[in-house]
Amino acid sequence: QVQLVESGGGLVQVGGSLRLSCTASSRTFSSRKMGWFRQAPGKERELVASITWSGGRIYYADSVKGRFTISGATAKNTVYLQMDGLKPEDTAVYYCAAAAYGSVSYDTWGMGSQVTVSS
């Protein structure tokens, strides 16, 4: 019933920056954790970053550590991904995902936002 909507993707040059946003369609939606995944052509989907609201536990994939920053709103229905120092290997479709309080895994997904890094 609840949908996640991503925005902020686009085409950027190497070394540039983009900021992805993800918001739940319902104001009443509240998640246990939210994260960003990405999938590049010919590659498997990977978790890029996540935030668990209780305790503020944050995870980053090694490939983006130091370059990407995940953050969110206190309503627990919005998450951002600030991407700096972008590299061609960051090119992928980025998906926002959320896990409900009663779920052990991500159960709500966005449609994806294309990020293309060009040299």
SS3 category, 4: strand
Q: What is the pLDDT of residues 21-57, one digit of tens each?
A: 999 888 888 889 999 999 999 999 999 999 999 888 9
Q: How far apart (Å, rounded) are the C-alpha atoms in residues 37 and 74?
A: 21
Nearest CA to 50 out of 3, 5, 95, 2 is that of 95
Q: What is the pLDDT of residues 54-107, one digit of tens each?
A: 888 999 999 999 999 999 887 778 999 999 999 999 999 999 999 988 888 999
**51-58 CB contacts, 8 Å cutoff, 24+ apart:** 51/79
Cβ-based burial of 46 (10 A; exposed 0-12, middle 13-18, buried ≥19): middle
How would residue 112 be classed by pLDDT, with cut points 50, 70 and 90? very high
Residue 67 is which amino acid?
Answer: R
